[in-house]
Amino acid sequence: MKKINFGDNKNIIGRRLRALRKENHLTQGELAAKMQTFGINIDQQMISKIEMNARIVTDYELACFCKALKVTIDEMLQDFNNER
């Protein structure tokens, strides 16, 4: 299987995910629990890896992170959009 990277990162939302999670006063474990209510099998360690850009994020995970944090996809991708 081919490894998927964007530069040195495995995703483009890690830094923004961490900022939004903290703005919502959620721990990684609490965010994982919210994600599980949407049927996403994710735990605290996986969220940590995403925030450190060490794990890819699927499209349905991205959509559910936005739902859990009550932001739009554009808001989640803000850092990426501003860099481009």
Q: How many CA atoms lie within 13 A of 14 on its CB side?
A: 16
Residues 35/64, Cβ–Cβ less than 8 Å: yes
Specify the pTM: 0.89
Residue 80 has pLDDT above 90, yes or no: no
The residue-averaged pLDDT of 58-80 equals: 96
d(CA 55, CA 46) in angstroms, rounded, equals 7
Q: How many CA atoms lie within 13 A of 51 on its CB side?
A: 18
d(CA 53, CA 30) in angstroms, rounded, equals 19
For the chain, what is the mean pLDDT?
Answer: 92
